[in-house]
Every structure is written in C-alpha cells, then in structure tokens.
Amino acid sequence: MRGVLRARGLIDGLGWGETLISKSPISFLEGVDPEQGKLIDKSHELFGLSINGKVIIFPHSVGSSVGAYVLYKLKKNGKAPSAIINLRSDNITVSGCAIANIPLVDMVEVLSLIREGEFIMVNGSNGSVIIY
C-alpha cells in the first residue's frame, strides 16, 4: 500500500480498480456509450477508452441531468465504472451514482498523488481512497 487519502464520501460502497484520469469534465448523455462503456465524444481526451471496471477521476460532469440515467444504464449493462472520484461533484454525477450504486467521493486531499493506471480502492462510506 502506497497511501491513504481522505475525501468527502458522497455515495456509500467500495469500488476498486485501475485509475482512468481526465482533466476535462465528462458529459454522460452525449459522451458515453452505455452499451459499450466507452467515451464516444470525439473531442474528449479519453475518446475511445473504456470506463468499465475503472475508477474514473474527472473534475465534474456537464450537460443534461439525463446523464444520471446513463450511469444507471452503464451499471445495468455491466459496463459501469467501479467508482468515481470528482474534484467537486455535481447533481448529475451524485444522482447517477446514487441510483446506480456506484461509490463516489470528491474533494480528495492531494489528488495529485494518484497516478494514471494505478490500482486504488474508493470507500464512499468513510471517504477514503487507498493507493496500492
């Protein structure tokens, strides 16, 4: 184990996996294919990459509140991220994670310590992020 970071726990549960990091916000409604679990927004830095089973880290989501249902559909289709970390969560991400039972934290102390492709565990219940 490399370290434990404190965060604000928003949606309970445990999620673990490899990190996928975006410096850009994500539009779930127009930017993510819920059938494949891939980013389909050609202008997004993660275009073509799968979020399935990953811990995705991004600032916040953008777009329509219907994006919350895309998170639910991702979960229903077995293509959802295992957890989400935001810089500061918004209503779309919080409500989507709540209905899809995806652990969610934000406001992680020293978020810059988490690197791309690293294996981490997110505990939305107590607001911790463990870096392995």
What secondary structure does DSSP assign to the chain, as a single string? --EEEE-EEEE-SEEEEEEEE-SS-B-HHHHEETTTTEE--TTSTTTT-B-TT-EEEES-B-S-TTHHHHHHHHHHTT---SEEEESS--HHHHHHHHHHT--EEES-TTGGG--TT-EEEEETTTTEEEE-
Q: pTM higher than 0.95, yes or no? A: yes
Number of folded domains that form the chain: 1
Mean predicted confidence (pLDDT) in 59-71 = 96
**At residue 113, what are phi and psi to the nearest 5 degrees?**
-75, -20
What secondary structure does DSSP assign to 68-96, as a single string? HHHHHHHHHTT---SEEEESS--HHHHHH
* pLDDT > 90: percent of the chain: 96
- CATH assignment of the domain containing 17: 3.50.30.10
Q: Which residues are catalytic?
A: 64
User: pLDDT by residue (tens digit) across 75-98?
Assistant: 999 999 999 999 999 999 999 999
- pLDDT at residue 1, rounded to an integer: 79
- Can you give the residue range of the structural domain that contains 100? 3-131
Q: Beta strand 14-21 with 55-58: parallel, antiparallel or unpaired? A: parallel
Mean predicted confidence (pLDDT) in 19-48 = 97
- pLDDT at residue 90, rounded to an integer: 97
Mean predicted confidence (pLDDT) in 99-105 = 98
